[in-house]
Amino acid sequence: MDDLAERLSTAYLSVHYHDPHRDLHTWRIYQRDGAVQLYDGQEWRVDYALTTDQIEHIQQAVADCGLPASLPLRAAGIHDTAVYTVAWELPDGISGEVANYAYPALTHVAIDCLMDVLLEIEEAYTGAL
């Protein structure tokens, strides 16, 4: 995952999935210029770029879904889990990170809410391909 730090330094949102049992990492990195960079575990690609309205919609969804007030979801007593981590740095100065350490056994309501928004936008692009 060469140049990951550089990619993250110019992003307002990132979604990282890590399955330690398979040593699999995937990333969705949402850049301030609208580019959506995807890492599928082997290579990086940019499938589409967001409009200004879509970027603002995603940034608002971070707050609307409750991510800034969310706590990590722990995996006590749950085995064979992966970790979903969402990090954000918004124009209003609000930044943070929240993780679900119990995925897929338990779902994190705020992360699921944001992922619904992200996937809805993504489907509009991938459905047109």
- pTM of the entire predicted model: 0.92
The sheet carrying 11-19 orders its strands as: 44-49, 35-39, 24-31, 11-19, 82-89, 95-103
pLDDT, residue 124, reads 87
**What CATH number belongs to 4-126?**
3.30.1560.10
Q: Residue 2's pLDDT is what?
A: 65
Contact yes or no for 15/118 (Cβ under 8 A): yes
Residues 85/98, Cβ–Cβ less than 8 Å: yes
What string of pLDDT tens digits covers the 129 residues of the chain? 569 999 999 999 999 999 998 999 999 999 999 999 999 999 999 989 999 999 999 999 999 999 999 999 997 888 888 999 999 999 999 999 999 999 999 999 999 999 999 999 999 887 654
CA distance 25 to 21: 11
Residues 6+ apart with CB under 8 A from 79: none
In the chain, domain spans: 4-126
SS3 of 9, please? Answer: helix
